[in-house]
Structure 1
């Protein structure tokens, strides 16, 4: 079956990113036959350019493509660094450099910030996506494509043995 909006797609992938200035690539993430990535196509859960590269494929097809930083998680923004007052961490342990903090902005969007340093009165965090500024190289295979159920369409994500579970 061919991939189309309102279909549930299961696929494997290996995601590689270029190691800085070395010309080699590191494998950073994988989805396997046993643990595929399953998502509702066209529902906005995936990077738009990721879906664009898949939209001509069918079950059993292999694929390989690259996304530029602009099409993936954005260019690295030097300005996207914030100082969090240390009072925010009262009653909890001070985060360590390199640790990831789950934060929420005033609109309720959740995002992750990486602690880059700790000053006298503040924790300095980098709000860039961990993969900002990186070109992504995807390789994989389409395992299954099926029409989404009405329930999946109303919920906006995949369900069932190869999808999202509600408990």
Structure 2
């Protein structure tokens, strides 16, 4: 089924904006209108929700989060970037594993079970896409979702 991913992403942003504002984080987003993908709207919304939820948890105080959705060649690219301490290179490949935590103390501090990114990756892969992260230590972390 073809869904309007632009509308789906915007609807998630609307539900998360208040929390981002409450945490005094700067939030910028740019959503290209009417980008359609084949897939499940609720599942893809869940991916955006997981990425924004993580960004809210791990962004440094007074930090910023940005989200863009745009067409790139034949794919659609969703990018979420947030400021903060970043993820150490040795952890980068493993953050998508179930229950994996780069920092074990995070579980006590932030709650959750370390499943979010594993779930997001599995949803993206079911949609024939790719999810990966890049980080600049002590500056930013970016998550990229490529969907055909």
TM-score (norm 2): 0.23
Structure number with the higher strand fraction is: 1
Normalising by structure 1, report the TM-score: 0.21
